Structure 1
Amino acid sequence: MSPTPTGRLLRTDEGYELVLTRTFRAPIDDVWASVTESDRTARWFGPWRGDAAPGNAIQVQLSAEDGAPWSDVRIDACEPPRHLTVTLTDESGGWRLELRLTEHEGITTLRFTQQLDSVDGVGDIGPGWEFYLDRLVAARDGSALPDFDDYHPAQKAYYESGPGL
């Protein structure tokens, strides 16, 4: 069974934004810890090492990727517990990523955005972020982590259609 894709593409002056959201019945500080503390990111994305501060670079291990490679991540902005902007660098180039968290009546919404220069490759990128964000949901609620094969290539056509444009 393939999960339903939720992301959308928005046109910007600089290119495009790929936007996905997830909601959690949890306080914002707890969700923030899930996306910033190494022992908690290790449960769904991968652990990180280094001195995490704005302007600094850390290394993140992409534990769900083949070979679990380490990638460099520059912390561009960090305003706990609401905003984190990073640039992840790997063999594909630089990935400009942003997380924004808001809380209302005990429900925290995470808005994930990747800045894109073009929509080239979005059919591969979108399903990847759906997979990782669903891993975050599963890690937080203690359920089984999803299988990437349920996301890709099943969601590729959805993203290539330009949802939201």
Structure 2
Amino acid sequence: MKDARTQIDAVRRTVGRRALDTGEASVVTISRSYPTTVDDLWDACTDPERIPRWFLPVTGELRVGGRYQLEGNAGGEILTCDPPHSFTATWEFAGATSWIEVGIAADAHGGARLELAHIAHADGDFWEQYGPGAVGIGWEGGFLGLALYLESGSAVDPAEFQQWATSPEGVRFHTASGNGWYDADVASGTDAEQARARADRTIAFYTGT
């Protein structure tokens, strides 16, 4: 496993707002480049045989209008798909519905860049308590798994990854990720004291402290 700092520095994080027909939503966006082609990165993110090698097993119909289910996690409906550039889907978990927008493009260094926006209603206690890091840290772990898979060519072992997540290096990774989302939260206009409090709650959840 590469050191946490290298992985943290590879990621760009932003937090914003968007008006939806159903009300205002928060937009948590994460992106990073990978040393591969656009076509290969698209395939790694959409092929049901490759997704479990770095993320979670997935079942369902991976087509527009089809429904998917990630093992032990979210499911939803695929809304749009423009291979090999983008797709959108609902993200349905624990009785709540949010949305994801995934984009892939060539970067300036000969690789490919993945950008994921997670869009959720900004009202409610959960956002106030935990802020953008609640989903941001989780997605950052997924982006790390993808990096390990693409760079090594070998599937990430879930048990080994979970063991690493609770190790000192894993705790440093989640802490640094949470602090990165704190910075993005403040940059979006959130009061620094409020952003710090909810980042600390989220870091404590992910690190078991």
Q: TM-score range by the shorter chain?
A: 0.7 to 0.9
Please give the residue correspondences for 1:11-50 in structure 2 after superposition, counting only pairs within 5 Å. Answer: 11-13=17-19, 14-50=24-60
Among 94, 117, 120, the alignment partner of 1:91 is 94
Q: Which runs of 4+ in 1 moved over 6 A?
A: none
TM-score under structure 2 length normalisation: 0.66
Look up the match of 2:15: 9
Look up the match of 2:115: 111
Structure 2 letter corresponding to 1:110: L
Shifted more, 1-10 versus 24-33: the winner is: 1-10
| Structure 1 contact 55–75 (Cα < 8 Å) conserved | yes
Choose 1 or 2 for highest CA Rg.
2
What 5-or-longer segments of structure 2 have no aligned partner?
189-209
Look up the match of 2:103: 100
Q: Which has the higher contact order (CA 8 A, sep 6+)?
A: 1
RMSD: 2.5
Cα deviation for residue 48 of structure 1 reads 1.3
Shifted more, 23-32 versus 101-110: the winner is: 101-110
| Structure 1 contact 10–164 (Cα < 8 Å) conserved | no
Structure 1 letter corresponding to 2:112: T
Look up the match of 1:155: 177
SS across alignment from 1:141: helix
Distance 1:39 1:155, change over 3 A: same
Look up the match of 1:66: none
Structure 1 letter corresponding to 2:83: P
Count of residue pairs the alignment pairs up: 158
Tell me how far apart the structure 2 counterparts of residues 57 and 32 of structure 1 sit (CA, whole Å). Answer: 19
TM-score under structure 1 length normalisation: 0.81
SS across alignment from 2:49: helix
